[in-house]
Amino acid sequence: MSGSLRIRAARLVGVERRDPVDIGIAGGRIFGLEPSAAGRPKRAADEELDAEGLLVAPGYIDLQINGAAGRDLTADPSSIWDVGAAIVRYGVTAFLPTIVTSPRETVEAARAAVLAGPPAGYLGAVPLGLHVEGPFISPERAGAHDPRLIRDPDPAFAAEWRPDGGVRIVTLAPERPGALEMIQELVGRGVVVSIGHTAATAGQARAAFDAGATAVTHLFNAMPGLDHRQPGPVGAALADPRVTVGLIADGLHVDPLVVGLAWRLAGPGRVSAVTDAIAALGRPPGRYPLGTVEVVVDASSARLADGRLAGSLLTLDRAIRNLRAFTGASIADAIGAVTTTPARLLGLAATHGELRPGVAADVVLLTRDLEVVATFVGGQPADRAGSAGEG
């Protein structure tokens, strides 16, 4: 579809106004929001979509996804576009392809894939830059990362990592030699630094936050637990209003009760729901790659041979519904965990994460039960899964 689009009579998520609205889209951006009313003159549009009875939300942003549709982003960085095309059905319009601990050549291949841009005719979620998860992590908390590839922070290894060079988030362990200097350098270039896969104490985590780190990768997982005498990185993060915490809200990585506690402590606006999904997302049980390791997948989980969790099978729309169930969050706050919160963390609030004139026309239409009906990326219909009818 080219030209303009009018989405008619949808109900906005997360605003006080409850009346249906019409959303005007042209040139890949939203140009107008106005009350929808019978008898109101229609603005001319090349296409009109009747969304009566549906909710409308900003497009979802996944800050941590390793693969989907049988494709692993670390094993094959060129599959970024295949993964992006696969995840729009879950409401995802933007994502950070995540590269786990790897040789430098792998990260460089992934950077090149992002910077080369999409293939002709691409209709899928847009990569906003990489999430480079490792290799500057703790061997003690490697999780599913290949311990043979872990190393101390190395400025030469990360010399080209910056947003305009294809890297948005770097996960590292702040207790590693040279980590604080690396945090300061990356943050100075505009990269978001997240602590994770770490054995850090609370003091070491606080030092990382003081150096400029502003996030934690999959809170509770691959790090010391919260102890009343040794609060560790979990306690330091939850207590620090500067820090956004990523949570894998699948009910396996973090117990629902603990998800609820973290939500109460951090509050809406500091929790970013992520999937940490692997290549098995959308595929049957079997064996799938995660970087250089093999993951065994059954109907509900992805695990290493020793039984440890290794990524997830979670979709981002399911994560929102789980947040609602685990925390009692409002629809607006739960959706904010995959829209406004990640956009703000990335410094992209001016263009993503909200529905208002001037922002990217990344839009999701939802049922009242938060099932995805249709996804639009830049105003283009990337996926229409359900019953929205065209007028």
Catalytically annotated residues? 276
Give residue for tokens 């929102």: 320
∠ CA 8-14-15 to the nearest 5 degrees?
A: 75
Residues 146, 292: Cα–Cα separation, whole Å:
7
Amino acid at 91: G
Conformation bin of residue 302: beta by default, left when phi > 0, alpha when psi is -120 to 50: beta
CB 113 within 8 A of CB 119: no
Which residues touch 313 (CB under 8 Å, ≥6 apart)? 250, 277, 278, 280, 281, 297, 300, 301, 302
Residues 266, 270: Cα–Cα separation, whole Å:
6
Residues 340, 345: Cα–Cα separation, whole Å:
9
* Phi, psi values for residue 229, rounded to 5°: -105, -20
Residues 295, 88: Cα–Cα separation, whole Å:
24
Residues 194, 179: Cα–Cα separation, whole Å:
11
Question: How many CB atoms are closer than 10 A to CB 31?
Answer: 15
Judged by DSSP in three states, 369 sits in coil
Return the structure tokens found at 270.
Answer: 């500091």
Residues 204, 101: Cα–Cα separation, whole Å:
22
- Going 159 to 164 to 166 to 172, the CA torsion angle's sign is positive
CB 132 within 8 A of CB 161: yes
